């Protein structure tokens, strides 16, 4: 994928943008937005600049101007690598989407690949792979013939699965994440693919995992149907979601991640022939020094559910 244009291409515009960031960091958000607006007059085709202007206007409390900036960003980059459409939804100026733009997710994780583990594990106290590993071993002691790790990232879940799996395959949308996972040598195969529309022609798996991935998939119906098709009878699906505190099935959060209700998770599993083997509240990670609450789930397919 073409990288984000972090520079406007115009040195004068870049200098103004840099100064705008200094003003923003000092707390003068309105002045920062005004200066960045001037920079964009020099570089009007800079999609990332327009997205950043929207963030500055939002922080200044000028949501109409923020919406205009994000709309311009989206027009300049229809693939929406910045995730402008999600920002528009959050301020009530865009459609409610069942999933984020794939280009946004890919760009996000390509960007964070180098620092992903140090940040997630070292600073945000991410322990979900070990939580799911324990739940899997309790649901089905022993070894698994074939496991598919969907949204494998850098391989944190794969490291936990390797000792109990004969063949382990990983799938992720981010090439840079896959490069990190490949260097660990824990997967027998790695595939770059978007889980929205993913298909697999290999043998049926007796374990599918998806740790901290469904937060980037709002509506779960298609995903659950796909996983049910991947699993052999009696196979396990181990995954997590962030918990939705308010009513409804799922909702986009200010973090631009999705949260899901327990009832919705249960219904979509049952609708696809997957019975609950374990469902436990847990803390997914820390975010701005606050715990992110979620569910760690293991479901079983078919007659053994």
Q: Which two tokens stand for residue 158?
A: 């794969």
Summarize pLDDT for 195-231 with one digit per residue, the tens.
Answer: 988 999 899 999 999 999 999 999 999 999 999 999 9
Mean pLDDT value across the chain? 94
Band of residue 1 on the pLDDT scale cut at 50, 70, 90: low
Tell me how crowded residue 38 is: count the other CB atoms within 10 A of its CB.
15
Domains 11-96 and 116-304 are alike in CATH topology:
no
Residue 3 has pLDDT above 70, yes or no: no
Give the mean model confidence (pLDDT) for residues 111-126.
88
Per-residue pLDDT at 254: 93
Q: What is the DSSP secondary-structure string of the chain?
A: -PPP--S-S-HHHHHHHHHHHHHHHHT-HHHHHHHHHHHHHH-TT-HHHHHHHHHHHHHTT-HHHHHHHHHHHHHH-TT-TT-HHHHHHHTTSSPPPSS--HHHHHHHHHHHTTTHHIIIIIIT---HHHHHHHHHHHHS-S-EEEEEEET-TTSHHHHHHGGGEEEEEEEES-HHHHHHHHHHT--SEEEE--STT----SPPEEEEEETT-GGG-S--HHHHHHHHHHEEEEEEEEEEEEE--SSSSEEE-TTS-EEE-HHHHHHHHHHTTEEEEEEEEEEEEEETTEEEEEEEEEEEEGGG-
11-96 maps to CATH 3.90.25.10? no
Summarize pLDDT for 229-280 with one digit per residue, the tens.
Answer: 999 999 999 999 999 987 799 999 999 999 999 999 999 999 999 999 999 9
Would the CA dihedral through 187, 193, 198, 200 be positive or negative? negative
* Superfamily, domain 116-304: Vaccinia Virus protein VP39 (3.40.50.150)
Instruction: Report the C-alpha gap between 305 and 299 in whole angstroms.
Output: 8
Length of the chain in residues, anyone? 305
The phi-psi region of residue 186 (left if phi > 0; otherwise alpha if psi is between -120 and 50; otherwise beta) is alpha
Q: What is the largest CA-CA distance in the chain?
A: 66
Band of residue 303 on the pLDDT scale cut at 50, 70, 90: low
Domain definitions of the chain by residue range: 11-96, 116-304
Residue 4 has pLDDT above 80, yes or no: no
pTM (predicted TM-score): 0.92
């Amino acid at each position: 994928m073409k990288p984000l244009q972090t520079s406007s291409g115009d040195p004068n515009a870049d200098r103004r943008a840099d100064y705008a960031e200094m003003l923003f960091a000092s707390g003068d958000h309105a002045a920062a937005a005004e200066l960045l607006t001037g920079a964009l007059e020099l570089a009007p085709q800079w999609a990332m600049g327009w997205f950043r202007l929207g963030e500055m206007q939002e922080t200044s409390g000028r949501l109409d101007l923020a919406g205009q900036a994000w709309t311009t960003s989206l027009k300049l980059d229809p693939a929406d690598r910045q995730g402008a459409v999600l920002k528009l939804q959050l301020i009530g100026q865009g459609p409610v989407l069942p999933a984020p733009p794939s280009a946004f997710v890919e760009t996000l994780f390509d960007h964070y690949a180098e620092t992903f583990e140090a940040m997630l594990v070292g600073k945000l106290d991410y322990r979900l792979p070990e939580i799911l590993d324990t739940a899997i071993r309790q649901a089905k002691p022993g070894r698994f013939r074939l496991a598919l790790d969907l949204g494998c990232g850098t391989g944190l879940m794969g490291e936990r699965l390797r000792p109990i799996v004969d063949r382990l395959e990983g799938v992720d949308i981010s090439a840079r994440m896959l490069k990190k996972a490949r260097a660990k040598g824990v997967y027998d195969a790695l595939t770059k693919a978007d889980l929205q529309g993913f298909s697999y022609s290999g043998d049926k798996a007796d374990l599918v995992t998806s740790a901290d991935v469904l937060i980037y998939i709002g509506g779960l119906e298609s995903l659950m149907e796909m996983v049910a098709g991947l699993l052999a009878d009696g196979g396990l699906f181990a995954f997590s979601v962030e918990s939705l505190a308010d009513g409804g099935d799922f909702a986009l959060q200010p973090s631009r991640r999705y949260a899901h209700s327990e009832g919705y998770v249960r219904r979509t599993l049952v609708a696809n022939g997957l019975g609950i083997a374990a469902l436990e509240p847990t803390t997914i990670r820390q975010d701005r020094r606050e715990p992110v609450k979620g569910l760690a789930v293991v479901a079983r397919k078919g007659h053994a559910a």
